[in-house]
């Protein structure tokens, strides 16, 4: 009798377990075959207020643990600039770290996966040995949207290889003043140019399907990432180019100059939009409901989620964080869906919970924010594939990606001067010479040529932090083996005179900086750059290569310079600079920013009434290969003769082919 009762009880328990399992398997939000709208509705209906508010929080990895992810239902994690698993983290270290946090999220009651974000703004720039592409100002000079799209695709592959599905890129600011420390994050001063470069979104996220609804986010698969258009809006127009400052602009000019790239981004299915630290006509953007909700969401129909910048809501008050409850209220009511806290998550959660329970922030606003966040997570397949694997580890720093970066370097170079007379060009340089002088602090410094947002937030100096080719090493690889290269970082006149140099290449420019640390009222080349130019170019024929995130003061030195090249911040593939200097490829780049004569002219942009630059927007001299020069001169050759000459040209040095 007892045995029968126990058997009956066992059957009841077994049936209960099977019933629960059947219900779990039948949960709509877990079923990838269901429409996203149905999955969203189902999941939202199951969530508590605490779970919803947790989804609106993004915290820094340093402040997180798997238990925190589980117990606070945290919706997102990020790595800020230089925030890494360990100082020498491998791709596997990144994957293991992300998966450890993700397992914490998946162990929560509803198992909602978190989304990990990172500033991959010119390649996967936090990661050792990743491919570092030219910064955006250089990409703008290429005038090549297809190239930028391929860069987006390569970047997405490297980011996903480390287990991360979300990149805080692209920056689609229209930089109207080079004194701004973030100007190099902009593709240029011209709205149409910036609009054309939003093609990178299709590289990062994948091609948007035909018939996709306008404004709905889209991510193509496991080798793509959610993108982030930033910083909404008019961050490139602040007064005097001061970072996080106030942009004073009419509504007409704001809509004409700064807003159009967001139209294009939304059409291309961008998943997220990040709000700017700056103010617009005195109102902090993080509290600007008219533009975040009224324009971006309602008028433009953006259906992804809006994210704050790092402690961006704190800056609503002055001083920052002085009335945090108000900042939480103002930002959420304005339409921000996810808040980059990034450390004080308990304070944010408590304040937002109180505001919701007090009905100061309506539940409808919370549901809207969470729906947008979950829509992106559903769209990118995070519920089906929340954990990273090791199948893509070889994508990071791959040769294929480095070749794309090298191509980008070549196409980004802008030739500003080629000879003191048009009839006597200096470029391309001969590969064969008895001795060539290479000078300047930036010729053999990988950190300097990569700029800010590389390995660390403010970048680095030297050659030890990641893998790449310096400009000096690129030059050594390009010249004839018989040619002697002498590198002097800061040569004096006596040292220059005492050597029989054929010519000199001087590589100088700005030191790395990021955000407000790059704001500059004078835009001068740091010492000893100017004296290196005058010392070397005063004694030898010289080409000056400027490494900078924007135009800098160069007019005082123009008379002694034979050739002048704007190389921007080219990244890890310095060989691309040598490719063009020595004529293996042509100069084709065009200025993406007006090059001023003096800083007193600033701000000065194409179309301004008193436009009198040293070099105008769109300026850039071109060169041709030796073969093209011969053909354009009208040399008629039989096909077999032409073939022989082409072979000879490819095998011999281009030493004395000077091309206008």
- Checking if the pLDDT of 244 tops 50, the result is yes
Q: Rounded to the nearest 5 degrees, what angle is found at the Cα of 374, between the Cα atoms of 149 and 261?
A: 35
In a domain, 638, yes or no: no
155 part of a folded domain? yes
Q: Which pLDDT score, from 0 to 100, does residue 627 have?
A: 52
Render pLDDT for 110-132 as a digit per residue (tens, 0 to 9).
999 999 999 999 999 999 999 99
Would you state the pLDDT for residue 25?
A: 53
Q: Are 480 and 486 in contact (CB under 8 A)?
A: no
Alpha-carbon torsion angle 457, 337, 229, 204, nearest 10: 90
The answer on 504 and 425 residing in a single domain is: yes
* More confident of the two residues 293 and 625: 293
Phi and psi dihedrals of 203, rounded to 5? Answer: -75, -45
DSSP symbol at 172 = -
How many domains is the chain built from? Answer: 2
Q: Do 485 and 599 belong to one domain?
A: yes
User: Is pLDDT above 90 for 637?
Assistant: no
Q: How confident is the model at residue 486 (pLDDT cuts 50, 70, 90)?
A: very high
pLDDT for the residue numbered 625: 60
Identify whether residues 512 and 564 lie together within a single domain: yes
CA distance 588 to 605: 22
Over range 580-594, report the average pLDDT: 98
Q: What is the pLDDT of residues 333-372, one digit of tens each?
A: 999 999 999 999 999 999 999 999 999 999 999 999 999 9
pLDDT of residue 278: 98
368 and 463 both lie in a single domain = no
Q: Give 621's DSSP letter.
A: B
pLDDT at res. 119: 98
Residue 656 has pLDDT above 70, yes or no: no
For residues 421 and 374, state if they share a domain.
Answer: no
Residues 421 and 344 reside in one and the same domain: no
Q: Is residue 98 part of a domain?
A: yes
Q: How many CB atoms lie within 10 A of CB 83?
A: 16
* DSSP per position, 81-138: TT--SSTT--HHHHHHHHHHHHHHHHTSSS-PPPEEEE--SSBSTTSTT--BPPPHHH
Residue 53 neighbours by CB under 8 Å, 6+ apart: 73, 349, 352, 353, 356, 366
User: What is the per-residue pLDDT for 485?
Assistant: 98
What's this model's pTM, rounded to 2 decimal places? 0.92
Do both 420 and 284 map to the same domain?
A: no
Range of the domain at 314: 28-380
Cα–Cα distance between 536 and 522 in angstroms, integer? Answer: 24
Does one domain contain both 452 and 601? yes
- The share of the chain scoring above pLDDT 70, in percent, equals 91
The answer to whether 309 is a known catalytic residue is: yes
Q: What is the DSSP letter of 465?
A: S
- Average pLDDT score, the chain: 93
Q: What would the pLDDT profile of 207-242 be if each residue is shown by its tens digit?
A: 999 888 999 999 999 999 999 999 999 999 999 999
Other CB atoms within 10 Å distance of the CB of residue 360:
13
pLDDT given at position 652: 37
419 and 363 within one domain: no
Q: Which of 51, 144, 244, 309 is catalytic?
A: 309
The whole-number pLDDT of residue 363 equals: 98
One domain, residues 88 and 201: yes
| 146 catalytic residue (yes or no) | no
Residue whose C-alpha is closest to residue 172's, from 195, 154, 147, 155: 195
- Residue pair 166/117 in contact (Cβ under 8 Å)? The answer is yes
Assigned domain for 109 exists: yes
How are strands ordered across the β-sheet holding 272-275?
A: 228-232, 272-275, 305-307
Rounded to whole angstroms, the Cα distance separating 247 from 254 reads 9
302 in any annotated domain: yes
Q: What is the pLDDT of residue 624?
A: 76
Per the CB < 8 A criterion, the answer to whether 519 and 181 are in contact is: yes
Let me know if residue 403 belongs to a domain: no
Residue 640 has pLDDT above 90, yes or no: no
Are residues 376 and 417 both part of a single domain? no
Q: What is the largest CA-CA distance in the chain?
A: 112
Is it the case that residue 632 has pLDDT exceeding 90? no
Whether residue 182 lies inside any domain: the answer is yes
What tokens appear for 633 in the block? 């001169």
Cα–Cα distance measured from residue 428 to residue 580, given in angstroms and rounded to the nearest whole number: 7
Closest CA to 656 of 474, 423, 418, 432: 432
CA distance 312 to 302: 21
Q: Considering 189, 395, 515, 586, which one is annotated as catalytic?
A: 515
Q: How far apart are CA 58 and CA 118, in angstroms?
A: 11
CATH number of the domain to which 98 belongs: 3.20.20.300
Q: What is the pLDDT of residues 130-170, one digit of tens each?
A: 999 999 999 999 999 999 999 999 999 999 999 999 999 99
Sorting pLDDT into bands at 50, 70 and 90, what band is 655?
Answer: very low
* 512 torsion bin: left (phi>0), alpha (psi -120 to 50), beta (else): beta
Residues 418 and 347 in one domain: no
Residue 402: inside a domain, yes or no?
A: no
- The sign of the torsion formed by the CA atoms of 293, 295, 298, 302 equals negative
Looking up residue 537, the CATH number of its domain turns out to be: 3.40.50.1700
């Amino acid at each position: 009798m007892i045995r029968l009762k126990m058997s009956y009880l066992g059957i009841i328990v077994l049936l209960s377990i099977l019933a629960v399992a059947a219900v779990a398997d039948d949960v709509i939000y877990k079923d990838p075959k269901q429409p996203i709208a149905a999955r969203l509705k189902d999941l939202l209906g199951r969530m508590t207020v605490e779970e919803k508010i947790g989804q609106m929080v993004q915290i820094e990895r340093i402040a997180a643990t798997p238990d925190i992810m589980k117990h606070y239902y945290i919706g997102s994690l990020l790595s800020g600039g230089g925030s890494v698993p360990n100082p020498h983290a491998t791709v596997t270290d990144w994957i293991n770290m992300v998966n450890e946090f993700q397992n914490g999220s998946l162990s929560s009651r509803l198992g909602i996966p978190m989304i990990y974000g990172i500033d991959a703004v010119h390649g996967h720039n936090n990661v050792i040995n990743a491919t570092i592409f030219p910064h955006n100002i250089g990409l703008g000079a290429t005038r090549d949207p297809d190239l930028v799209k391929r860069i987006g695709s390569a970047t997405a592959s490297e980011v996903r290889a480390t287990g991360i599905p979300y990149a805080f890129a692209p920056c689609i600011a229209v930089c109207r003043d080079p004194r701004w420390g973030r100007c190099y994050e902009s593709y240029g001063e011209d709205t149409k140019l910036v609009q054309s470069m939003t093609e990178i979104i299709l590289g990062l996220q994948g091609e948007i399907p035909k018939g996709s609804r306008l404004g709905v986010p889209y991510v193509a698969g496991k080798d793509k990432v959610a993108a982030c258009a930033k910083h909404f809006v008019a961050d490139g127009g602040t007064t005097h180019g001061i970072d996080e400052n106030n942009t004073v602009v009419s509504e007409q000019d704001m809509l004409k100059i700064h807003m159009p790239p967001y139209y294009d981004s939304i059409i291309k299915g961008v998943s997220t939009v990040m709000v700017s630290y700056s103010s617009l006509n005195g109102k902090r953007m993080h509290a600007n409901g008219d533009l975040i909700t009224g324009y971006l969401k309602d008028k433009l129909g953006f259906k992804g989620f809006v994210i704050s910048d790092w402690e961006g809501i704190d800056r609503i008050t002055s001083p920052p964080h002085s009335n945090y409850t108000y900042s939480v209220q103002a930002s959420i009511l304005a339409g921000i869906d996810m808040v980059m806290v990034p450390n004080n998550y308990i304070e944010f959660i408590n304040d937002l919970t109180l505001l919701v329970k007090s009905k100061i922030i309506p539940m409808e606003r919370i549901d809207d924010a969470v729906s947008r966040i979950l829509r992106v997570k559903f769209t990118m397949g995070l519920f089906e594939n929340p954990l990273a694997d090791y199948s893509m580890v070889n994508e990071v720093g791959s040769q294929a990606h480095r070749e794309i970066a090298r191509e980008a370097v070549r196409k980004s170079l802008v030739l500003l001067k080629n000879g003191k007379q048009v009839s006597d060009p200096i470029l391309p340089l001969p590969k064969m010479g008895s001795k060539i002088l290479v000078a300047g602090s930036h010729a053999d410094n990988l950190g300097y040529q990569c700029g800010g947002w590389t390995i660390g937030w403010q970048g680095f100096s030297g050659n030890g932090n990641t893998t790449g080719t310096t400009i000096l090493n690129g030059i050594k690889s390009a010249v004839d083996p018989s040619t002697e290269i002498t590198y002097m970082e800061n040569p004096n006149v006596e040292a220059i005179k005492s050597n029989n140099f054929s010519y000199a290449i001087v590589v100088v420019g700005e030191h790395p900086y990021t955000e407000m640390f790059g704001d500059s009222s004078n835009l001068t080349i740091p010492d000893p750059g100017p004296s290196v130019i005058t010392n070397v170019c005063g004694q030898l024929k010289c080409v000056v290569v400027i490494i900078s995130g924007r135009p800098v003061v160069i007019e005082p030195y123009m008379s002694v310079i034979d050739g002048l090249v704007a190389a921007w911040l080219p990244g890890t593939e310095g060989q691309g600079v040598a490719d063009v200097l020595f004529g293996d490829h042509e100069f084709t780049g065009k200025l993406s920013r007006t090059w001023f004569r003096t800083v007193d002219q600033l701000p000065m942009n194409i179309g301004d009434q008193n436009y009198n630059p040293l070099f105008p927007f769109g300026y850039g001299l071109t060169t041709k290969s030796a073969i093209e020069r011969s053909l354009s001169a009208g040399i008629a050759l039989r096909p077999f003769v032409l073939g022989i000459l082409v072979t000879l040209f490819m095998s011999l040095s281009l030493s004395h082919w000077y091309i206008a």
